[in-house]
Structures are given as C-alpha cells and as structure tokens.
Amino acid sequence: MFDRRLVQYFDWGMLALTLVLGAIGVLTLYSAVVSGSETPQRVLYIKQMLWFGFGLMAMVACFLFNYKTLDRWASVIYAACILMLVAVLFFGKYVGGSRRWLDFGFVSLQPSELIKLGLIISLARYYSRMATPKGFTLRQLVIPIVLTLLPFALIVRQPDLGTAMLFLLIAGSMTVYMKIERRSMITLVTAGAIAVPLVWFFLKGYQKRRILTFLNPDRDPLGAGYHIIQSKIAIGSGAISGKGFLKGSQNTLEFLPEQHTDFIFSVLAEEWGFMGSMVMLLLFLLLIVWGLNIAASSRDPFGTVLAVGVTFMIFWQVFINIGMVMGLMPVVGVPLPLISYGGSSIVTIMMSIGLLINVSMRRFLFE
Amino acid sequence: MTDYLKIADPEWFKQRVTGIVFCVFAAFALLAVRLFHLQVIGGEEYRRLSASNCIRLESIDAPRGLIFDRTGDMMVDNRPAFDVSIIPRDARPVEETVGNLAGLLHFTAEELMEKIREKRRLASYKPVLLRKDIGRNTLAAIEVQRYDLPGVVINVTPRRHYLYDQSAAHVLGYLGEISNEELSCGKFPDCRPGDFVGKFGVEKTFESVLRGERGGRQVEVNAKGQVVRVLQTVDARPGHNVYLTIDRGLQQKAEEMLRGAAGAVVAMDPGTGEILAMVSSPSFDQNAFVSGMTYDQWEALISNPNRPMENKAVQGEYPPASTYKIVTAIAGLEEGVIDEKTTFYCPGFHRFGNRVYRCWKKGGHGSVEVVRALAESCDVFFYQVGQRVGVDRLAQYATALGLGSPTGVALDHEADGLVPTSAWKRKKTGIPWQGGENLSIAIGQGYNLVTPIQMLGLFAAIGNGGIQYRPQILKRIENTQGEVVRSESPTEAARIEFSGKTMELVRRGLWEAVNTVGGTAFRSRWSAVDISGKTGTAQVVGRKEEETADDQEEVAHYHKDHAWFVAYAPSEEPKIAVAVIVEHGEHGSSTAAPIARAMIETYLGGKSGGQKLAKRE
C-alpha cells in the first residue's frame, strides 16, 4: 500500500518554508511579549511553540491520508462544522461581548478558524464536479452560495464580522477562479449594487456607525483610529534597516494594541525595518505561489480546487492583516498566518499546509 | 474518476491558476509600495514621532448628570476637583521633581516615590496619580513653581458634590470606585478601573442614565509632556439630569423632626404614588464617600448600632403593631366574621386557652364595635376577630394589600417583609401553628414584618379609595438641553377589591383615631385639615428577658418599643400619606404622630406650604 514515490515526491520546500515562517513568528512574538508587564503574557511565546508543535502533528495528519478521502467525506465534514458553529452560539464563552470560543477547560478553541477548511473542502467537491469552461450559471451557484452563507450567518451572529467577511472572500475568490458565466456575472453584480443601498437603508444608526468606523478607522480616533496611528508609527519608525531585535520602543511601551496577535507585523516591521519586512513579504509570496503551483500540478480537479481554496485562504489573511496594520484596510481581527499568536489559527494554517503537501506529494499517483 | 467530467481540458485549470498568480503579485506589490512609503519615505518622520512617543490618548470624563427635586431645586451637582499626577518619563530627574513637589502636597518625598514605584509596571508615559482633590492654595503654589516641576500634570475632573450634607442620603445614594466584580460583569462597558459609579440609592438605580459617555482626544506632546497639538477630539456626552419626586422642603422638615432618633419617615402622594420625602435616620455623609474615607470612619459607620447605612424606609423590617389592625378589620368584615355593629367587650384582657392576652389599656375599653376599636386601638376586639379569621385567611388579605412583597420602588435592597401563614411556620420551625398565635398576629405582633414603605402604600390605597400605586421616585429625565428624555407616570400595581362598606368603615375608624376624644392620635389632630391615621407600638423584645449588661441605660433604650404612625390627609381625597417609625420611640401617639402631623402641615400649607401648593399647580 505504501508507495515509495510518496517520499520521493514529498514537498520538502513547503515544509521548510513553513518552519522558517514559524520560527520568525516565535521570535517576533518573543520580542512582542517579553517586555510585557504580566507574566501570563510573557510566556506566550512558549505557548506558541507548543501550539506550533501541535500544529506540526496536525499537519502530518493532514498529509498522511489520500486527500481524495476528503472528497468523499465532504458533506460529513461540513455538517460537523456547522454543528460546531451552532454549539458556539449556545455554549460559547463570552469574551469582550462576543461568543467565539469553545472552552474545553484546558484549552479554548475558535471553531470559526477550523471551519474555513470545512467550507473550502465542500466547495472544492462541488466545483470540481460541476466546472465547465463556460463558467457557472446562477442556478448552479445556488448550492455554493447556501454552503457559504450558512457558516457566514452563524459567524456574524457571534458576532465576528472580520472572520465572516473572510468566508465571503475565500468562497468568492474560489468561485471567480472557477469562472462565472458572463450573463450570471452581470446579474450578480447588478443585484449586489442594488442590495447594498437597500440593506444600508434598513440598518439602525449604531450599526451604520459601526460599519463606517470599520471602513474608516479615523472615525474612531480613540479606538481603531488610534491603534492604526500607533501601528503606522511603529512600522514607519523601523525605516530602512529597523531598530534591531528587541529594540522596538512602540512595542515595549505598549502603545500597540494586540501586538502579539493582529498587530504582530508592526512589531516585526519596527525592529527589522524595510529590509526585514520585505523578506517577510517575499516569504509569504513564495508560500502562496508555491501553493498555487501545487494546485496547477495536481492531476485531478478536486486536488486543484482544494489547493487553490487553501492558498486563497492564506493569501487573504496575509493581505488583509498586513494591509490593515499599514492603514490600507479596515481594522479587522484577522491573524497573520504562522506569525500571530493564537492556537486555533496556527493549527488551522498548519493543517492547510498539510493539505497542500498532501496534494503535492500525490501528484504522480494514479488509481 | 468518472465524476470529474465536463472538463474538456485539464489545462484549463492551470491557465486560470496563472491568472491568480498575477493577481497575487499585484496585491503584494501594493503592500510593498505601502511599506516603502511608510518606512523609506516616511521613516524619518515616524522615527521622530516614535522617539518622543508623542501621540497620546487623553480621556475626557463625561460630567455626570445632576439630580434635582420635584420643583427643580438642585440636590447633587459636580464641582471641579484638581488632581495632581506625575508622568515619570517627563519628570526627569524624577527624584528632584518629587522633592520639589512633596512639600506642596503635604507628603514626604519618600511617600511619593513609593507611589510611583508601585505603578512602575505601567508604561513610563502614563501619569501616576499622586494626590486627588488638592485645594486651590496648593493648586496656585504648583502653578507658580511650574518650571521646577516638569512632568507634573494637574487634571481637572468633575467630582460629585451633594449640596445638602447628609440630606436625603439614602435616596440619592453615593458613588464609589468601581469594583473588580463590577468591571468584569459587563454592565459597565465604558468604565475603567478608578472610575466612580453609583453604589447605592438613585445614583445606582439610574447609573446608566446619569453616567454619560466618555470622550477623549489624540494629542501630540513635546518632550516635556506638554500638549503641542490636539489631533482629534471626541466630545464626552454628559449624563442626563434626573428629577426626583422628592419635595426638598418636606424632606428637610422630616429630617429635622427625626434628628437624633433612629427611624424612618416616608411620604407619598396617594393620587400618584410619588414619594415626596424619604428619610432614614441616622444619615451619613455622602461627600465623604466621594473624597474617600479613612478606615476608622468606615468602621464607625458600619458598626453604629443605629445602622446609618441602611435605608430604613425600604430596608427596615419591623413588626407593624397596631397599624396592622386595619388588615385584621378588613379581613373580619370581608369574611363576614364581624359587621359594623358587632361588638366585643373589652375588660382589659382576653383569656385564650390557659393564657391571658392583655389589652394595652389596663381598665379595658368596654363594649366596642369595629370603628371605635380602630380609633381606640382596642387589642381585645382584634384578638376576637383574629381568633375567628385565623392566620391563613388573614394572610390572604395582607398579601392582597401589598404586604409580604417589595413595592417595587426604584431603590436597592428593598426588603420583602413577612406575612406568616401556618404552612410557612411549619416549614420554618417544624412546629404547627398555635391558636394563640392568631391573636398575636391580629394585632401586628408575632411573626409579622413590614417595611415603612409597604405600610405607607397600604394607607395611601385606603386613602385614595383602593388604588395601589407603585411608589415612584423618578419624576423625569432630561438631557442637558432640557429636553425630556423620559417621563414617569403613575403605575397601578394593584386595586383593592373590597366592598365599599368595608372601606368606609376602615376609613371612619382611621378618621376617629385622630379626630375624636379617646382616639389614640387625638393629640395630633389639626383644626385646619382632617387627618386620618393609625398609631402603633411595636414590641421589640419580650420584656421578661432581662439581659445582664454593663450599661443598663443603653440596654433599657434598646428594649423600648418602636413607635409607628401612618396617616393620610385630608381625610377625603388625601393629598399626602405619611408613614413614620421611630425606633425605641415607645408610643406611636407621642413620638411618631407629631412628626407625621408636622409633615402634613408643612405640605398642605403650614408656614411656607401655601405658596408651595400654588407653585405645584
């Protein structure tokens, strides 16, 4: 049963890239938290390493079996995901006014992270069977839309607007990749153009304000706007060569909010400067192009769409997170893959990479 | 593999992947350009900003809403208080600055350094509070020496100020620093450690209304920590102003009358349920809570045997004593046990089983029917009624009249009171109800417990013909522009469904108690306006239990009975109802009734009351 070619074609490059990024993540996190005042924060980098180790195991688990199994089990996986989200709504732990976590006593998980993979697998199954060069018609898109909106609605209820948007972006870009028939595309765009002002009209005042602040942080100079200013100062003050490891003053003075999670890139940019930040960007670019290459070299459509979906997920998180801390994007709680602190995020990304490796190493296998 | 169909050419997929690669490159180019813009082009400027950490956030506290009485007299406002803080990183050399400052603040330099060291965990640009609420002289002294005191900042913060010391303290309540539990419970989303929130009384009940919304500003400061530029400001939204139903003149009258005694006075408009006055004595100094009190002050407050921190009008549970006889009368009449003509003979005592139950009047009242029994408060008459009605039927009427459950006034910690039933006693003590106990509860002794505000609501309902209004403390809420945000209207809690005849007899009994010779409150009648009311003398302890104590006199005082008087006036279409309890005041007729009488006089047009009535119209 075991095929020697599996080892022969193992994607060592992907693994190496992951380890390098993870190591940079732990170092940056160390710098971000070690100067912190509270002990539980100071040891976060150790916890991060534990999560990283756990993630490695999850990654291995994700490439040991043949990814085609996922195709067969897609609906079961999807159902389990929805069940988890419902569970969060009922039993989730309240943190800062929203319910995003399932508390298992020794560890808390954020199911919405994992469930991105569930959605990608389900969409991959559907799209890989239905794809035609002409593109999808509206009627064919009903199922993927429902598949997406269900978890989307449940996550909006938590509420976690940022993650919910991420679902739309992942599903949307996968669909565009699969091609939408021209007439359907026009209909969809027109419908969207009509729906947005209509929905806006029905929103309550505070909801409008929240969305406006989301789009333009300057409207909230004491909250998001202030964070962005501090983040920009941190990044900008890194200048060309950076202030040096552990020398970031914005960070040590705790000007940065959430510097160990969503704003971790600012810490890195301040300490390593333009050169370091560019290296980081290039590593992410390499990771994403690598993923796309795996997609392109897969022999079966499911593998291709799966790899494309997973790569899109990583891409969007990188793009939104780095864009946000530089003031290009709305302030949303999207972690930077492999760098931001957070167990659920790390494990999910490692599993995604496991899936990519899975598709990659089986590209020459035929049944 | 058969499933994967319809795809003419596997190359098709690959071509589309190439498309994505281009998009990804474009997106990363955008990020790189932005990065270049921030770090390479803007690097110098951002490094300067970063070096002095000069963009800071300053909080602007929202002024808390003011509290007024019903006529618009201000009772609580905010005064400016000056707090001195130090920003360690701007105050360098810190030791020298602290040395200069210490004398002015009446601390030693060492004490100040200690405070700074305690907060060392905080970032050094964050101000450390050294002394709150310095006087104007200190303020002037600091201003003069400004140049020797770098990094020393003075913040003007609004501080709560209760205009009338100790007055209406239990209604208004007080503020205190927010506790960790309050912070984590989620009810105070806008609050931070060190904020003051309502802890008691109206300040607590209407916390969310009074609080307002915090604002803030982004400022750029120079190396000395002085603000050079305000970048953006979000104005604070001041809290709303609260108008209470309290009449300040009446409130003060009641406080005057109760001074030196422990007890409570509550007055209500029987036509609306609006609370006109609410006094609990002794009181406490609310301003001391805001400026912070010493441990000894606090100890003294909570160990005072007269319980100044308790609002006796709503939290105090007392035996209702003879005021309860109207409940017994109503039960007897409604159940058909007695009618208006039923007479019982009172020889001054009543024998039940092998015990003798005494009437308060040694010689006895002779033959009395229900109206005279109420007027003269004949115990024997009500022993007879109680014996026939029994505890459980009596409890039904007491409950229907609003006893045994909170009235729902918008104040904290309202007590339930207690309406005993035979089932309750069996559950509580395991001993079945004894026949003799029917007699005790019929005259309001035994297990019965009521709060003054419950008794007041009951009498107000009798006075207005049967409508029980929920006691109301809030008149309206206005925003700072004077627009009414919320206006309270009378709420009917219940309606008394007794026959007109019963009501009539009880009302007559209450009238006769004050206005006829032999009535227990005859001494407190008023020629101008008819008052109806009922006295009560509540036994505190069985007088037989002699305790050995060092201070005989004090023991004697705390064994004295509580004095009750509950009344309304004018007897027809009453405008005011008053409940008075004086702890250890002995006799309702001599201690409590005169207080109620004075209140009624003040309100209905005594010395200053005339114009007051006119003003109210």
B6–A131 CB contact, under 8 Å: yes
A281–B45 CB contact, under 8 Å: no
Using an 8 Å CB-CB cutoff, list chain B residues near A130: 6
B613 pLDDT more than 50: no
Report yes or no: B579 and B566 within 8 Å, Cβ to Cβ.
yes
Using an 8 Å CB-CB cutoff, list chain B residues near A367: 1
Q: Is residue B327 part of a domain?
A: yes
pLDDT of residue B609: 40
Peptide bond between residue B127 and the one before it cis (omega within 30 degrees of 0): no
Q: Are residues B485 and B504 in the same domain?
A: yes
Q: Which of B404, B216, B318, B409 is nearest to B592 (CA)?
A: B318
**How many structural domains are present in chain B?**
3
pLDDT of residue B264: 95
pLDDT of residue B615: 38
Candidates A178, A213, A237, partner chain B, best to mutate (most B CBs within 10 A): A237
B402 Cα to chain A: minimum distance (Å): 39
Candidates B5, B7, B38, B44, partner chain A, best to mutate (most A CBs within 10 A): B38
The residue-averaged pLDDT of B534-550 equals: 63
pLDDT of residue B482: 87
A36 Cα to chain B: minimum distance (Å): 9
B4–A129 CB contact, under 8 Å: yes
B463 pLDDT more than 60: yes
Nearest CB among A130, A281, A288 relative to B32 is that of: A281
Q: Residue A46 and residue A23: Cα distance in Å, rounded? A: 12
The residue-averaged pLDDT of A330-349 equals: 89
Q: Is residue B258 part of a domain?
A: yes
Q: Are residues B186 and B40 in the same domain?
A: no
pLDDT of residue B616: 38
pLDDT of residue A276: 95
The residue-averaged pLDDT of A27-32 equals: 87
A236–B38 CB contact, under 8 Å: yes
pLDDT of residue B1: 42
Q: Residue A323 and residue A331: Cα distance in Å, rounded? A: 9
The alpha carbon dihedral of B423, B545, B314, B274 has a sign of: positive
pLDDT of residue A317: 96
Q: Is residue B609 part of a domain?
A: no
A273–B30 CB contact, under 8 Å: no
The residue-averaged pLDDT of B542-564 equals: 63
User: Please, where are the H alpha helices in A65-160?
Assistant: 68-91, 111-130, 138-156
Q: Are residues B592 and B533 in the same domain?
A: yes
Q: Is residue B399 part of a domain?
A: yes
B542 pLDDT more than 60: no
pLDDT of residue B545: 40
Which tens digit of pLDDT belongs to each residue from A57-87? 999 999 999 998 999 999 999 999 999 999 9
Candidates B7, B11, B20, B214, partner chain A, best to mutate (most A CBs within 10 A): B20
Using an 8 Å CB-CB cutoff, list chain A residues near B216: 221-222
The pair of three-digit structure tokens given for residue B172, joined into one six-digit string: 């208004």
Which of A158-167, B286-295, B494-503 tops mean pLDDT? B494-503
A235–B46 CB contact, under 8 Å: yes
Which tens digit of pLDDT belongs to each residue from B345-367? 999 999 888 888 889 888 889 99
Q: Which of B142, B118, B138, B141 is nearest to B128 (CA)?
A: B118
User: Per this entry, what is the length of chain B?
Assistant: 617
Using CB atoms within 10 A of its CB, is residue A138 exposed (0-12), middle (13-18) or buried (19+)?
middle
- The residue among B244, B262, B282 that closes a domain is B244
Which tens digit of pLDDT belongs to each residue from B477-497? 999 888 999 998 999 988 888
Instruction: Identify which has the larger pLDDT, B265 or B62.
Output: B265
Q: Of the residues B280, B281, B283, B322, which is catalytic?
A: B322
A326–B35 CB contact, under 8 Å: yes
B334 pLDDT more than 50: yes
Q: Are residues B425 and B341 in the same domain?
A: yes
Which tens digit of pLDDT belongs to each residue from A243-272? 888 877 655 545 555 666 788 899 899 999
pTM for the predicted model, two decimal places: 0.70
pLDDT of residue B554: 62
Which tens digit of pLDDT belongs to each residue from B571-582? 999 999 999 999
B322 is catalytic: yes
B212 pLDDT more than 50: yes
A236–B47 CB contact, under 8 Å: yes
Q: Residue B431 and residue B433: Cα distance in Å, rounded? A: 7
The residue-averaged pLDDT of B183-194 equals: 75
pLDDT of residue B549: 44
Q: Is residue B610 part of a domain?
A: no
- Which amino acid, A137? T
Looking at residue B589, what DSSP letter applies? I
Please give the share of chain A, as a percent, with pLDDT higher than 70: 92
pLDDT confidence of B153, banded at 50, 70, 90?
Answer: confident
Q: Are residues B412 and B503 in the same domain?
A: yes
Place of tokens 């046990």: B337
A215 pLDDT more than 80: no
Using an 8 Å CB-CB cutoff, list chain B residues near A304: 13, 17
Place of tokens 């969503």: A262
Q: Is residue B612 part of a domain?
A: no
Q: Are residues B176 and B263 in the same domain?
A: no
Q: Are residues B467 and B549 in the same domain?
A: yes
Q: Are residues B153 and B269 in the same domain?
A: no
pLDDT of residue B10: 67
Residue B168 three-state SS? coil
Q: Are residues B43 and B116 in the same domain?
A: no
Looking up residue B169, the CATH number of its domain turns out to be: 3.90.1310.10
Domain extent, residue B130, equals: 56-244
Q: Are residues B284 and B205 in the same domain?
A: no
The residue-averaged pLDDT of A46-60 equals: 93
Q: Are residues B225 and B257 in the same domain?
A: no
- How many CB pairs below 8 A link A and B? 161
Which tens digit of pLDDT belongs to each residue from B379-421? 999 999 999 999 999 999 999 999 999 999 999 899 999 999 9
B551 pLDDT more than 60: no
Q: Are strands B67-68 and B55-60 parallel, antiparallel or unpaired?
A: unpaired
The residue-averaged pLDDT of B238-242 equals: 93
Q: Are residues B272 and B172 in the same domain?
A: no
What residues have CB less than 8 Å from B35, skipping those under 6 apart? A235, A269, A274, A277, A278, A281, A326
**CA distance from start to end of chain A:** 12
Q: Is residue B89 part of a domain?
A: yes
pLDDT of residue A108: 77
pLDDT confidence of A299, banded at 50, 70, 90?
Answer: confident
A234 Cα to chain B: minimum distance (Å): 7
Q: Is residue B378 part of a domain?
A: yes
Q: Residue A332 and residue B486: Cα distance in Å, rounded? A: 37
Nearest CB among B5, B42, B125 relative to A236 is that of: B42
What residues have CB less than 8 Å from B60, skipping those under 6 apart? B214, B215, B216, B217, B233, B234, B235, B236
pLDDT of residue A251: 54
B292 pLDDT more than 60: yes
pLDDT confidence of A38, banded at 50, 70, 90?
Answer: low
